[in-house]
Structure 1
């Protein structure tokens, strides 16, 4: 465990049980959300690869033109 996490948990330990549970629920929810995101991203790789190939083909075929967004 990192020093920062140890410090955070020491501060949480000073709170009421209700506040501790609320923070624990937030942490667990965030961890679950991160896991769902990782799974969704991993599952989308074939679609992203296919899309990237299409874009590269469009660029090679001259079907893509600059829109000036690079100049912002």
Structure 2
């Protein structure tokens, strides 16, 4: 497996078109990883307290429309 320095070096050698394609790929990849972590946190109940607090604020009229 490549080291971070090798990856940085390879990225720095990309053409503008390849860099644009890499950016698109990485944004999608990073988003998918974030989604997986979020889903795991929801499934494990790690966000339950925050959800309850948000619902309480909504019931109390402490929220504003965006």
Report the count of equivalent residues: 44
Larger Rg: 1
The answer for the alignment partner of 1:62 in structure 2 is none
Q: CA deviation at 1:36?
A: 0.7
Greater helix content: 1
Distance verdict in 2 for CA 1:31–1:20, change over 3 Å? same
* SS state at 2:4 partner: helix
4+ residue runs over 2 A deviation: none
The answer for the alignment partner of 2:28 in structure 1 is 29
Supply the distance in 2 between the matched residues of 1:45 and 1:23 (Cα, whole angstroms): 33
List alignment gaps of at least 5 residues for structure 1: 47-72
List alignment gaps of at least 5 residues for structure 2: 46-66
Supply the distance in 1 between the matched residues of 2:6 and 2:29 (Cα, whole angstroms): 19
The answer for the alignment partner of 1:66 in structure 2 is none
The answer for the alignment partner of 1:6 in structure 2 is 5
Supply the distance in 2 between the matched residues of 1:27 and 1:5 (Cα, whole angstroms): 15
